[in-house]
Amino acid sequence: MQIPTFTVDAFTDRPFSGNPAAVCLLESDLNEDVHQKIATEMNLSETAFIRKLHPGDDFTKKNTNAVLTFVTLSGELKARRMEDHIVLDLPLYLTYPQLLQEVEDLIKAAIGDMVVQDLRYSPDTKKLLVRLSDAYERSVLEELQVNAQRFLSAEKTGKVKGLILTLKGNSSGKHKGHDFYSRYFAPWYGIPEDPVTGSAHAVLSSYWSEQLGKKEMLAFQCSRRGGELKISLRNDGRVDIAGQIAIVLKGNLTL
């Protein structure tokens, strides 16, 4: 069996940046064991399997109105094409003030003695949002050396499963145009640092929309690979998070 397979860098228009994922186009069902073996072989954090719902469906036909529904461990994820972007339809997660004393060791393990401007927690996602002082530049966040494995022993509440570091964007300078920046760490799930994270931006979108008074925003995740996300809050309590893609590899997987 030949399975058309692609490696796609998401939230970027340049190869070797953004969030890498494998995409496999299936003509028929495969059992879960084969899915897992393919994902292991691809050796990327995400492997998506797209299957035809009807025999007459054509993978090669461009349909800008098509909506793909992915079944994930976190529930259904819907994606659609909009011009040269792929748009993810995600729930918007609210954040609430978090007492520093409860997570002080975790924050110190992450950023040392850096100044924290705001601290929030998302109970729906178990993500802790740490906003660094507006006095810091983007380069400070990019160059910050983080040993995420230390988080596992430093987090004593048992309620944090993801750590977001975020910084307000600059209105001038080299990187003007981005409303906010972030980095995301989830060693509790075996992810020391995620290159670009849609689910974290479902939290960040809520927070920064409140802070900036905006529903349309442009964000940049400052991981080593880096990625840009276009954010649009909707009136139904959800958020559209869009990004470009770069296809860096295509071929056939032989079973």
* Active site residues per annotation: 46
Q: Return the bridge partners of 181, or none.
A: 167, 220
Cβ atoms within 10 Å, residue 199: 21
Q: Which residue has the tokens 């110190």?
A: 108
Spatial separation of the C-alpha atoms in residues 245 and 191, rounded to whole Å: 22
Cβ atoms within 10 Å, residue 177: 12
Nearest to 50 by CA among 75, 64, 30: 30
Tell me if 155 sits within 8 A of 185, measured CB to CB.
no
Spatial separation of the C-alpha atoms in residues 128 and 125, rounded to whole Å: 9
Spatial separation of the C-alpha atoms in residues 202 and 146, rounded to whole Å: 23
Spatial separation of the C-alpha atoms in residues 198 and 169, rounded to whole Å: 18
Tell me if 21 sits within 8 A of 44, measured CB to CB.
yes
